Amino acid sequence: MKLSLSTIRGLTGKVMLNFLCLLLAVAPATTLRAQAPGPDNQTVNIAVKQATVVEVFRIVEKQTSFRFLFDKSLEAFAARVSLQHKNIPVARLLEEVDKQTGLQFKTSGTTISVAVKNRPSQVHPGVDAPKREITGIVLDSSGQAMVGVTVAVKDGRIGTGTDVNGRYILSVPDDATLVFSLIGYRKQEMPVAGKDKINVILQTASSSLEEVVVVGYGEQKKISLVGAQATISPKDLKQPVSNLTNSLGGRIAGMVSVQRSSELGYNDANIYIRGISTFTKGLSAPLTLVDGVPRNIANVDPEDIESFSVLKDASATAVYGVRGANGVILITTKSGKAGKPSYNIRYTEGFTQFAKLPAFADGPTYMQISNEALKTRGSAPIYTDEAIQKTRDGSDPYLYPNVDWFKELFRDHGKVRNANANISGGSEKAVYYIGLGYYDELGLYNVDGLSKYNSSIYSKRYNVTSNITLTPSKTTTVKLGIQGYLNNVNLPATSVGDIFSDAFYLTSVQIPTRYPDGKVADLRGGGLKNPWASLTQSGYANQWRSQLYSNLRLTQELPFITKGLSVTGMFSFDAYNYTSNRYTKTPDTWYATGRDGDGKLQYEQTAIGTEFLAYDKSNQGERSFYNELAVNYNRGFGKHDVSGMLLYNNSDKANTYATNLETSLPYRFQGLAGRFTYGFNNKYFAELNFGYNGAENFYPDRRYGFFPSAGLGWVISEEQFFKPVKDYVQLFKVRFSHGLVGNSNIDGRRFAYLATVAGTGDYYFGKNIDQKFTGKEIGEYAVDVQWETSKKTNLGFDIQVLDESLTLQVDLFKEYRSGIFLRRKSLPGYIGMINAPFGNVGIIDNKGIDASVTYNRRFGDLSVQLLGNFTYNKNEVIENDDPAWKYPWLERKGHKVDQRFGYVALGLFESDEEVRNSPRQPGDVRAGDIRYKDINGDGVIDTYDQVPIGYGDVPEIIYGFGFTLGYKSVSLSALFQGAAHVDVLLSGEGTMPFQQGLARGNLFSNITDRWTEENPRQDAFYPRLMAGSLNDNYAASSWWVKRSDYLRLKTLQLSYSLPQRLMKRIGLKSSNIFLQGVNLLTFSPFKLWDVEVGNGRGAAYSSTKSYTVGVAVNF
């Protein structure tokens, strides 16, 4: 069946309307005070004889929303029960189980805790008489009492359990260690050490079989996953940064995150899931969704995040079809919980600094090195000793300036503050979450205090999130979410790129920032500009960005058809608007030519400025609709668990400030997605997924693609043969998946199946070129292209040891992406095409490994959490439609996507005689210049001698590791992020000494590390100097490839929690004070600029580090 875009869009509108009417008809009227479906009004059917209590619990869990928490010892509980009832309320059923077994039950929401009534301490024969009576209470992380927790002496046979109030009494030897355990929670050990009272807080075991994680278009138990996906704890995202993407580096296996700039408003990190698998880096970004809708995540407030998941393989992303090839990031925002209102307030404030700025040589050093560069090639020096001395002593800073441009441009520190407040609560029929956020950061640009306008850089953002969940009946759920932000950014009218470039190009000895009478300094003859004037005197731009996210989701369970069946519909509307008000001005500028007889400066005016600010405005915006309709089925049959999903979705996004016909047309997408899962006995799992999607880029007959995947999972640790080692290895699971995903985000062409034709000027011909005609020109040819297809395979292993304290996850992956959209390169120029046509001709192979490890353990009052992750990937170009190269080493196939090519540097020439006896190189080559390898052996160094050099500026290896140590009320945590197999190719003026002569380009402070006749070192950073661009030392070569591996202290936090007794007195549930640091230390062999900037000159607003203090309270 072929889907028609207009037919499905019309059908969808009718289906959604009818579905909403159906839900309104099915859902009974209710009030916010109505009670939830508790144990009194959820019923079960049961018929068992002499069954264990655990078997009864499982039956109840299959038929209701309840989950039982109990100690593992209950699996061997001797009492048996016989029950036969139809539609019996759960509360009555539990009463009957209580009568038959003596068990005690406590219900909290959908959780039922189980314990043995009045369970005494158990002392087995042969155990020495206890000497000390210990009492205490066991709580969960939210402060709620935990019933049914086993409290036992380690390596002994004395034990008891907690009652419904979480309390216990146990008599033990003085030197005993108590072990607290409950299924679904991490085991905890506490030495008695002379204590009479031991209170414990148990933490949820993230590896629990019952843990539910977010997957594409749904949720699954973690144990049932067969695909590759990972999560980040929301608390780890709460960093003092303005952009959520800046918090992700080093936190998750499989994610490559590089932050090229920290300029406010333009500081998104580049994110790649398992590296780059297409030819254009900008088209390698993952699909990002917030609450199930494709959305930008940069301005999501971390305080509002409930879960953060990354989907990496085909099994996890196939349901997204043509949008899933680059991986998927899923964010779910917080919802409320039934109960009294809970208030959270968090406030942080601190300051920022650049992590590392380039350091330039001072004026006298620049002048001396300039003279040397001239003399090495036989030219006379231009700076006299007198001029150098005046520059050094600062006796006349206006005629002999010595300017540190970065010191003039930037403050010592900026400011940052962040405030959040949220409230959640509700009844069992309606819950709510409302969050407000404020972020304010003052950047590091200096300002001129005399200006009548503010050209500093700052960003202020206001966030709001409101999520309401209604349960009008036990089978109906309605969720309404509204989120948004308002962002105001102020910055200079001159771009950051121009300001940095001028600071790199303009030397420290050419002009001062301004003269003593306030005149703005500038050079004669145009070209380079005064960067201080560009920053403070050129005007300013004020930008406003606003974003509204809204979604309505309705879920109706259909038990009257069959249990486990439900239908869900969602509608969302998003709107984005951007306005930039730019006020520009050109100052009067002057150049001091000397002093008169009275010592007064003599000026030449270099530019006549404008008196008033000029104004221009630009706008951007878009609005988008997203619709989703899904049928879900999830049910268990004894040891069998089955689930299925069939989903239809479509979206319509329009440019609200379109400037031509093409951009005015809405961008539309639609598709189907499906999933089927099967699990047997929590041991064997199978999963099938598919996406069937259409994209507007292609011919109508080729718009739709089918992308299936399959996966298998096997929990080997549940096998009988594994029992002998189960005490040592608690979990060993194998996952395998294989499938297809697609990418419709092609480069450069929206409607690639349409040719573009335009009129041209006159074509002249004839002997005297006096004949002419007017023609039509085909700019782009129509091509029969389709989506990229990515074939992905994943083999994963999940392992838990040391009583589930140590968890290891390892994934091996391989991706073969074909049909990549490229301009054809194999067509010769003589065929007469203006532009070569596009085609699905590219092929890239990508493979690698990612792994993560966590360790969680408590030793008395000391808690230890260790974590680490590692990602390695390497891509290879299989096909790029290149014509055959003259030599095989010039071939781009077989190498990385972004592979650089250049000369191989063999070192520096040691003598002029060695120069004469070596292959001929262009330029005036002398001793101390770079010696290149003659690859083809023809005696000449030219482009035929270029080979692959370096790794590139996107790391092949990314890793992170860290720890959290807690002792009583104090905790210390740190995260390190590292990268390897990454380098920088130095290039361009401002980096290469005197590449454009002496009038352009600063020198880095390491210019002293150079080859000289007096010190002819082969390991010098710079070869022999010269002034001018003809020297072949500046060619791209392995000499200028510099390792930029790094290890960065990404975050460091010290926190203190107020004592529980004090918090109870002042009415707080929790409160802590903390110190936080971001990007505090960086270790790298590359020293010129911040390593993440990555380009060949370092002219960017580089990464910043921050120091903040904060407080968080909950009441």
Choice among 101-115, 556-570, 678-692 with the minimum mean pLDDT: 101-115
CA 661 to chain centre: 35
Per-residue pLDDT, averaged over 228-254, amounts to 91
Higher pLDDT, 1100 or 745: 1100
Per-residue pLDDT, averaged over 132-139, amounts to 89
CA distance to 131, 155, 160, per residue, from 125 (Å) = 16, 15, 16
pLDDT value of position 15 = 39
pLDDT value of position 757 = 59
Strand order of the β-sheet with 167-172 is 167-172, 132-140, 200-202
pLDDT value of position 73 = 59
CA distance 986 to 1110: 41
Summarize pLDDT for 1063-1095 with one digit per residue, the tens. Answer: 778 888 888 999 999 999 999 999 999 999 887
Per-residue pLDDT, averaged over 672-682, amounts to 94
Question: Band of the pLDDT at 12, cuts 50, 70, 90?
Answer: very low
pLDDT value of position 843 = 95
Summarize pLDDT for 767-809 with one digit per residue, the tens. Answer: 555 555 555 556 565 677 788 889 999 999 999 998 888 999 9
Question: Which of 710, 816, 753 shows the shortest CA–CA distance to 277?
Answer: 816
CA distance 1095 to 158: 65
pLDDT value of position 16 = 42
Q: Which CATH class is domain 122-202?
A: mainly beta
Q: Which helix (H) or strand (E) holds 663?
A: helix 661-664
Higher pLDDT, 662 or 79: 662
CA distance 64 to 68: 11
The yes-or-no verdict on residue 764 having pLDDT over 60 is no
Per-residue pLDDT, averaged over 326-355, amounts to 92
List the structure tokens of 1080: 């505090």
Choice among 6-10, 251-255, 679-683, 1041-1045 with the minimum mean pLDDT: 6-10
The yes-or-no verdict on residue 895 having pLDDT over 70 is yes
pLDDT value of position 205 = 64
Summarize pLDDT for 64-114 with one digit per residue, the tens. Answer: 878 787 765 565 555 678 888 888 888 888 888 887 777 888 787 777 877
- Residue 381 DSSP class: P
List the structure tokens of 1088: 């010129």
pLDDT value of position 111 = 76
Site of tokens 């060619």: 1035
CA distance 106 to 112: 6
The yes-or-no verdict on residue 932 having pLDDT over 90 is yes
Per-residue pLDDT, averaged over 54-70, amounts to 83
Summarize pLDDT for 844-865 with one digit per residue, the tens. Answer: 999 999 999 999 988 888 999 9
Question: Band of the pLDDT at 1021, cuts 50, 70, 90?
Answer: very high
pLDDT value of position 51 = 82
Per-residue pLDDT, averaged over 668-673, amounts to 90
The yes-or-no verdict on residue 122 having pLDDT over 70 is no
pLDDT value of position 31 = 31
Question: Band of the pLDDT at 173, cuts 50, 70, 90?
Answer: confident
Question: Band of the pLDDT at 697, cuts 50, 70, 90?
Answer: confident
Per-residue pLDDT, averaged over 471-477, amounts to 92
In contact, 250 and 958? CB cutoff 8 Å:
yes
CA 441 to chain centre: 21
CA distance 894 to 843: 11
Summarize pLDDT for 273-316 with one digit per residue, the tens. Answer: 998 888 887 778 899 999 999 999 999 999 999 999 999 999 99
Q: What are the phi and psi torsion angles at 344 (to 5°)?
A: -130, 130
CA distance 499 to 98: 77
Q: What is the pTM of this model?
A: 0.81
Choice among 314-328, 550-564, 1021-1035 with the minimum mean pLDDT: 1021-1035
Higher pLDDT, 153 or 971: 971
Per-residue pLDDT, averaged over 122-149, amounts to 72
pLDDT value of position 642 = 94
Per-residue pLDDT, averaged over 196-208, amounts to 75
The yes-or-no verdict on residue 14 having pLDDT over 50 is no
List the structure tokens of 1018: 């082969």
Q: Where are the domains of the chain?
A: 1-30+427-637, 43-116, 122-202
Could you give the percent of the chain with pLDDT greater than 70? Answer: 89
Please work out, in degrees rounded to the nearest 5, the angle formed at the alpha carbon of residue 261 by the alpha carbons of 257 and 265: 105
The yes-or-no verdict on residue 427 having pLDDT over 70 is yes
The amino acid present at 106, given as its one-letter code, is K
In contact, 839 and 872? CB cutoff 8 Å:
no
CA 649 to chain centre: 26
CA distance 310 to 225: 13
- Residue 904 DSSP class: P
- In the chain, count of helices (H) and strands (E)? 12, 55
Per-residue pLDDT, averaged over 453-476, amounts to 92
* Mean pLDDT estimate for the chain: 86
pLDDT value of position 162 = 84
Question: Which of 440, 457, 456 shows the shortest CA–CA distance to 448?
Answer: 456
pLDDT value of position 747 = 65
Site of tokens 């009946």: 473
Q: Tell which CATH architecture fits domain 43-116.
A: 3-Layer(bab) Sandwich (3.55)
Choice among 18-32, 178-192, 489-503, 998-1012 with the minimum mean pLDDT: 18-32
pLDDT value of position 553 = 96
Question: Which of 753, 804, 685, 768 shows the shortest CA–CA distance to 315?
Answer: 685
Beta-strand pair 589-595/520-521: parallel
Could you give the percent of the chain with pLDDT greater than 90? Answer: 53
CA 223 to chain centre: 25
Question: Band of the pLDDT at 367, cuts 50, 70, 90?
Answer: very high
Per-residue pLDDT, averaged over 194-212, amounts to 74
Question: Band of the pLDDT at 1034, cuts 50, 70, 90?
Answer: confident
In contact, 800 and 806? CB cutoff 8 Å:
yes
pLDDT value of position 28 = 35
